[in-house]
Each structure stands twice: as structure tokens, then as C-alpha cells.
């Protein structure tokens, strides 16, 4: 812009909570660059950047007294175009990850009539649900965190190489495609891309507790607590990416764990599932889906 003799404008469209890897700083780094290098530029900025998913609170305070900064409500693009069925899915995921269960429940009631979301402890049932929902060539597949290393007993190995071209583009007859529900995609494979229907399988790397989300990394033969705030943010954002990839609906699988396996103890998984029930997500039982507060007829 500085090379123009007259004037110019740069429009930056930056998503919130999309930083999932080292070196990704999100919208805060755009603002830091303006502070460091372009103090004479005028800045027009969304008034919603104080929301937690943008992580820009600290840097916004630095420009609070700067000349030429204007906040505009109109610059916040609040309607997601990813899901044509329900525009509030991203908001629901944000509220769920921010542990605003009561608010998320209200948003879920707005979403659920157009965008089905079910939860289950059984991966086999989840696969059946996906196949029953999809029509024609609507694409479905299994998504997991890149840190989900204790899903091997469920035939999910995040370290096993997959070909994203075949996974996203090949047909139902190809074992490498997402349709086969054998190869899985992580947040790195699907960031910026979409499926029609998704199965998000939740491991013990990101665990609910009364004190907030616990972030863990599996190394050797045990889970290690992630203490660096940056890595915690990346893991939370990884689940944000996974939970917002489906256009039409999704099933969330939280495995039951195994009391005989210290790396998959039920206490790593049960609180997360109970929290999702508290939000109000519908439980899947066999071929029937029932609300979390209704006992299954089995």
C-alpha cells in the first residue's frame, strides 16, 4: 500500500481459532505487524475480536490508544457458509469448547432441527449412522486429532499414512477413500476442507474435567500433561477444526475406555461424554437416537 501514490486498501479475512501448528499466530500477528511496521495506516477492525476464539485480547490493548483505529460491527462475518443447513454450528462448537454448557444448549436447540449431531460410545454404531444419513455421493469419513494415539484398539492409527487425494476424491469402491471408514483424517488433512457427514472420534488427548479441559500428549507408554499454553491452544483448536468440518451433520464418538488398560482408563473418557450429554447432544443407541435425558428403550 505504501508504494501507491494515491491510496489503497487491504482486506484480510481471518478465521478465529484456526491456529493448529507451530508458527501460526492468527489475527493477533496481523495486528502486531501493523504496530511494528505500519504505524501510519488506518485500521478498521471487527468489534468482535475480543471473543476468546480469536486470542487477540492482549494485542488489541496495544492499539487501544493508537490514532486511526475504528471498530466496526459490520466487519464481523458472523454467518458461517460451511454448513448450508445450520449457520450456528461454529458458534455451538465455540460455546461447547469454551465450557459454556447452558448457552451451548440453547444454541443446540436452534441447530438440531436442521443439522443432526449425535454422540455415542460405539464406533461401529457411528459408522452405521453415517451410512444411513448419506444420500447418493454425499461424502462421509472419520476425523481424529493428530494426538489421538490411543485409538489403535479401534483400528485407528493416526501415524499410519493416508493419501488425502484418494481419501477426499475416490469413490465408494476404493479402500483408500473416506467412504471405506478405514483411513482417518486429522486436523492437518481437513483444515479448510469439508465433508457432508463426519464422525469425530475423541481420544484422551483432550479431556473434560471440572477444572477445564486437560491437554495431553502420548509418549512412549503414557500420557504426559501439556503445560505450554501455546500447545494447549493448538490442541483445542484442533478439535474446533474437526468439529466444524461437516456440512450436514456429524456423530461424535467418545470411546468407553478399558479399565484393564492404564492408557485408556474409562476415567479419561467418561467425563467428556457426560459433559457432551449435559450440553444436550442426542445419544445414539443402535438404530435409534434419543435425547440425553431420555432413557433408551433397550
For every residue of 171-196, DSSP letters joined together read -TT-TTSGGGS-S-B-HHHHTT--EE
What is the model's pLDDT at position 285? 78
Co-location of 94 and 74 in the same domain: no
Co-location of 231 and 99 in the same domain: yes
Co-location of 118 and 249 in the same domain: yes
**Residue 83 covered by a domain:** no
Co-location of 53 and 154 in the same domain: no
C-alpha cell at 148: 489421538
What is the model's pLDDT at position 248? 94
- Which residues make Cβ contacts (< 8 Å) with residue 120, sequence separation at least 6? 126, 129, 251, 252, 253, 254, 283, 284, 285
- Distance (Å, rounded) from C-alpha 213 to C-alpha 232? 9
- Neighbouring C-beta atoms of residue 110, cutoff 10 Å: 14
The range of the structural domain enclosing residue 26 comes to 1-78
E-assigned strands of the chain?
43-46, 69-72, 117-120, 140-144, 195-201, 206-207, 214-219, 222-225, 246-253, 282-285, 288-290
**Residue positions counted in the chain:** 298
Sites in the chain below the pLDDT cut of 50: 288, 290-298
What is the model's pLDDT at position 110? 93
Co-location of 49 and 105 in the same domain: no
Angle formed at CA 142 by CA 232 and CA 99, multiple of 5 degrees: 35
What is the model's pLDDT at position 82? 60
Q: For the chain, give the longest Cα–Cα distance.
A: 74
pLDDT in tens, 149-195: 999 999 999 999 999 999 999 999 999 999 999 999 999 999 888 99
What is the model's pLDDT at position 292? 44
**Residue 60 covered by a domain:** yes
Co-location of 209 and 244 in the same domain: yes
3-state class percentages of the chain: helix first, strand second, coil last, to nearest 5:
35, 15, 50
Co-location of 124 and 258 in the same domain: yes
- Neighbouring C-beta atoms of residue 69, cutoff 10 Å: 16
Co-location of 65 and 119 in the same domain: no
- Which residues make Cβ contacts (< 8 Å) with residue 140, sequence separation at least 6? 130, 131, 133, 134, 178, 179, 181, 195, 196, 197, 198, 199
- Which residues make Cβ contacts (< 8 Å) with residue 80, sequence separation at least 6? 87, 88, 89, 90, 244
- Distance (Å, rounded) from C-alpha 138 to C-alpha 171? 11
What is the model's pLDDT at position 14? 74
Please tell me the total count of domains within the chain: 2
Which element (helix H / strand E) includes 155?
none
Co-location of 134 and 247 in the same domain: yes
Q: What is the pTM of this model?
A: 0.78
What is the model's pLDDT at position 5? 85
C-alpha cell at 135: 444420500
Co-location of 31 and 135 in the same domain: no
What is the model's pLDDT at position 27? 76
pLDDT in tens, 251-287: 999 999 999 999 999 999 999 999 999 999 999 975 5
Which residue in the block uniquely carries the three cell numbers 460451511?
82
Amino acid at each position: 500500500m505504501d508504494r501507491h501514490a494515491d491510496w489503497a486498501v487491504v482486506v484480510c479475512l481471518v478465521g478465529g481459532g484456526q491456529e493448529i501448528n507451530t508458527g501460526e499466530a492468527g489475527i493477533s500477528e496481523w495486528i502486531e505487524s501493523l504496530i511494528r511496521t505500519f504505524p501510519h495506516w488506518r485500521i478498521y477492525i471487527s468489534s468482535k475480536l475480543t471473543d476468546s476464539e480469536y486470542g487477540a485480547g492482549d494485542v488489541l490493548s496495544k492499539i487501544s490508544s493508537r490514532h486511526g483505529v475504528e471498530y466496526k460491527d459490520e466487519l464481523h462475518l458472523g454467518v458461517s457458509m460451511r454448513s448450508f443447513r445450520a449457520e450456528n454450528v461454529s458458534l455451538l462448537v465455540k460455546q461447547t469448547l469454551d465450557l459454556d454448557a447452558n448457552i451451548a444448549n440453547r444454541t443446540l436447540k436452534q441447530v438440531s432441527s436442521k443439522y443432526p449431531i449425535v454422540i455415542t460410545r460405539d464406533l461401529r454404531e457411528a459408522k452405521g449412522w453415517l451410512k444411513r444419513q448419506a444420500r447418493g455421493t454425499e461424502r462421509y469419513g472419520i476425523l481424529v486429532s493428530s494426538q489421538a494415539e490411543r485409538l489403535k484398539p479401534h483400528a485407528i492409527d493416526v501415524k499410519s499414512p493416508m493419501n488425502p487425494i484418494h481419501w477426499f476424491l475416490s469413490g465408494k469402491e476404493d479402500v483408500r477413500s473416506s467412504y471405506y471408514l478405514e483411513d482417518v483424517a486429522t486436523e492437518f488433512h481437513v483444515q479448510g476442507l469439508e465433508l457432508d457427514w463426519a464422525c469425530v472420534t475423541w481420544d484422551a488427548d483432550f479431556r473434560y474435567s471440572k477444572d477445564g479441559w486437560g491437554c495431553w500428549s502420548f509418549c512412549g507408554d503414557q500420557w504426559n500433561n501439556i503445560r505450554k499454553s501455546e500447545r494447549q491452544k493448538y490442541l483445542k483448536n484442533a478439535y474446533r477444526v474437526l468439529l466444524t468440518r461437516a456440512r450436514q451433520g456429524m456423530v461424535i464418538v467418545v470411546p468407553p475406555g478399558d479399565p484393564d488398560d492404564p492408557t485408556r482408563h474409562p476415567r479419561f473418557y467418561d467425563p467428556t461424554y457426560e459433559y457432551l450429554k449435559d450440553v444436550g447432544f442426542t445419544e445414539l443407541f443402535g438404530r435409534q437416537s434419543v435425547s440425553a435425558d431420555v432413557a433408551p428403550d433397550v
